[in-house]
Amino acid sequence: MKTIHTSERRVANIGDLDLFKPFDAESEPGTSFLKLNPDQPKDVGFYVYRMAPGARSTPHRHGGAEEFLILDGELIDNDGTVYRQGDMVWLAAGTEHSSYTETGCLIAVYAEGPETALPG
């Protein structure tokens, strides 16, 4: 078996807040993400998404299915659905929504395709 070269592996700890980058500082203040694969756009593939208390996502449409796991905190969708720690969620391609958090939250996300912003 071939040894994994250091250029073929990235390791990060989600507790290291310095590793998170702003998701979109202008339209989504208080949101940040941590992604290890530099070959994918920020909103495609696997990443960890952090929302500070009071943060909200912009209204958007999913370009592919999205799955996420609430690691910590609570997330509320625009239709009032509340997702809590431990909830695993699947949203179909083409779904449209916006979410916010009163408490702050940490979410593990897998998205098949990019998001398209919707008029707010």
Segment 8-34 mean pLDDT: 94
pLDDT score of 119: 84
Question: Whose CA is closest to 73, among 92, 54, 58, 57?
Answer: 54
- In tens, the pLDDT along 73-111 reads 999 999 999 999 999 999 999 999 999 999 999 999 999
How do beta strands 115-117 and 28-34 pair? Answer: unpaired
Residue 53 tokens, joined: 């208390």
pLDDT score of 63: 95
pLDDT surpassing 70 at residue 5: yes
> In sequence order, what DSSP letters do the residues of 69-100 get, joined into one string?
EEEEEEEEETTS-EEETT-EEEE-TT-EE-EE
Look at the block and give the residue holding tokens 């916006």: 98
Give residue limits of the domains in the chain: 27-117
- In tens, the pLDDT along 24-82 reads 888 899 999 999 998 999 999 999 999 999 999 999 999 999 999 999 999 999 999 99
How far apart are alpha carbons 69 and 74 in whole angstroms? 11
Give, in order, the Cα–Cα distances in Å from 97 to each of 13, 23, 94, 118. Answer: 29, 17, 10, 9
pLDDT score of 15: 96
pLDDT score of 120: 64
| CATH code matching the domain that covers 27-117, chosen among 3.10.20.340, 3.90.1820.10, 3.20.10.10, 2.60.120.10 | 2.60.120.10
pTM over 0.85: yes
